[in-house]
Amino acid sequence: MVKLRLKRCGRKQRAIYRIVAIDVRSRRDGRALCKVGLYDPINNQTSLNLPAIFHFIEKGAEPTRTVYNILKKAKIFQELSGFFFNPNPLFLSTNKEAISNATMNLMESSILAQDERWRHA
Q: How many Å apart are CA 109 and CA 51, to the nearest integer?
A: 12
- At 65-86, the pLDDT tens digits run 999 999 888 877 765 554 444 4
CB atoms within 10 A of CB 80: 18
**CATH code linked to domain 2-120:** 3.30.1320.10
CB 85 within 8 A of CB 23: no
pTM of the model: 0.64
Q: What are the domain boundaries of the chain?
A: 2-120
pLDDT in tens, 11-45: 999 999 999 999 888 877 778 888 999 999 999 89
Share of the chain above pLDDT 90, in %: 26
Give, to the nearest 10 degrees, the angle between helix 50-58 and helix 96-120: 180
